[in-house]
A and B are shown apart, each in its own frame.
Chain A
Amino acid sequence: MSSLGHRAVADRATLAAPDPMLPRPFVVRRTRQDTRDTYTLELEPIDGPALSWLPGQFTMLYAFGVGEAPISISGDPNRPDRIEHTIRNVGSVTAALVAAGPGTVLGVRGPLGTGWDVNSGKGGDVVFVAGGIGLAPLRPAVLELISHRADYGRVVLLYGARTPEDILFSDDLRSWAERHGIVVEVTVDNGQHAWRGRVGLVTQLVSRAGFDASRALALVCGPEVMMRYAAQALSDRGVRPERLRLSMERNMKCGVGLCGHCQLRELFLCVDGPVLGYDRLAPLMTRAEL
């Protein structure tokens, strides 16, 4: 084969490989308002196959003409035909995304990053600790676990929200507790409006939660400060650092480890993360200069 022939083959291969920077068009099929500022969009590809993704991964969602934002996948991994994203309206891009009604076309890049690998918790207890919108990236891992519930021991979900009105997936939380034997403990920071449940920090629930730390897998997602203290509390309980995983989110832009916006010392969180073990993160989480 001539050198020209090699070049032609290489070019075809390059052309055949999906460009990670090129969004695929997806159409919004359904939307749901979860809380006053948080919405879930159900997306379907306009052409091509459904996305194959892992619980914990995210995509870059593109509102055409406005911009792109990293959004974790919040749907059921057993239903890859319906990819769901739960989005909190906190800025111009997310405002455009949550305003996208059925029929709107959005761009999707991904799935990107690492997953929770909840399957590695089989045979032991599993602890989920979520804060605020952090329950959304954990939801696929919970649903994955539920689809093989008998393979796991005790399962505990500890969830903290700002107010009772900010509690996400209330129906799911009830169902997971009543139908799937998951111990769900919810606490809020501000318990006005006739709230009868707990008020306080989610990390306070860790010390009283019923699980065997020596054989537990702990998955934590929420604001970074919350994760730092939750990880410390889980570590104090005896969860091994390599069995304690956190979903780190920084300023992700390219999503493929090129631009460096999400760099945390030697880590590019968009490709090395967002899910990382506490054994790698612990030395980095309290360093202000990183």
Chain B
Amino acid sequence: MHTIDEYLPEHPFFQGLDDSTTALLAGCAANVHVRRGEFVFHEGEPADHFYVLRRGMVAIEVRTPARGVVLDTLQDGDVMGWSWMVPPYRWTFDARATAETSAVAFDAACLRAKFDADPHVGYELTRRFVGVMNQRLQSARIRLLDIYGDFVE
């Protein structure tokens, strides 16, 4: 497996960043492993990281009184979590590994401090997160249509 320094420049989310910015981000990152069935984070907990999944699958879930509902699944290559960017920095859903999962975890406090020191880096990363948010929002909107469900003869 590549080191974080080698992995980040190859990932589409980080492509186009210069070497010093990538190194700066890598300085806030660590590899993490989560076993199948374990939670990466829980709703309501402090959102102190974001993740880039390298392997496996994670279900984004919400717990209702009757059951847990899977809203989305993320897998290798996907970026997970943006609650760390928005006060009050708390997770709004659960994230549970549905397969053995490896990820790069970025420390939010470390990143926010570096963004404050260098707003250009903050802008570059925010721009990329807006792309991810846009994609997920569009998917959620289309799924609201229940496109496979209703059909009138």
Does A161 contact B57, Cβ atoms closer than 8 Å? Answer: no
User: Nearest residue in A to B68 (C-beta to C-beta)?
Assistant: A192
A131-B148 in contact given A199-B71, A199-B72, A229-B142 (Cβ < 8 Å): yes
Does A90 contact B151, Cβ atoms closer than 8 Å? Answer: yes
Report the Cα distance A201→B75, complex, angstroms: 14
Query: Contacts of B77 on A, CB cut-off 8 Å?
Result: 208
How many A-B contacts are there with CB distance less than 8 Å?
70
Report the Cα distance A189→B72, complex, angstroms: 8
Does B148 contact A191, Cβ atoms closer than 8 Å? Answer: no
A195 within 8 A of B: yes
How far apart are A246's CB and chain B's nearest CB, in angstroms?
14
Report the Cα distance A131→B142, complex, angstroms: 13
Chain A: residues with Cβ within 8 Å of the partner, total of 34
Query: Contacts of A162 on B, CB cut-off 8 Å?
Result: 146, 148-149
Report the Cα distance A160→B135, complex, angstroms: 17
Kindly identify, within residues 127 to 147 of chain B, every residue whose CB is under 8 Å from any CB belonging to chain A: 135, 138-139, 142-143, 145-147
Query: Contacts of A200 on B, CB cut-off 8 Å?
Result: 72-73, 139, 143
Does B67 contact A199, Cβ atoms closer than 8 Å? Answer: no
Report the Cα distance A93→B146, complex, angstroms: 23
Contact bitstring B17-32, A, C-beta under 8 A = 1, else 0: 0000000000000000
Query: Contacts of A191 on B, CB cut-off 8 Å?
Result: 59, 69-70, 73
A94-B153 in contact given A132-B148, A160-B148, A203-B139 (Cβ < 8 Å): yes
A-B contact pairs, 19 of them (CB 8 A): A88-B151, A90-B151, A91-B152, A91-B153, A132-B147, A132-B148, A191-B70, A196-B98, A197-B73, A198-B57, A198-B73, A199-B72, A200-B139, A201-B143, A208-B77, A222-B148, A223-B147, A225-B145, A226-B142
The 3 closest A-B pairs by CB, nearest first: A91-B153, A132-B148, A191-B70
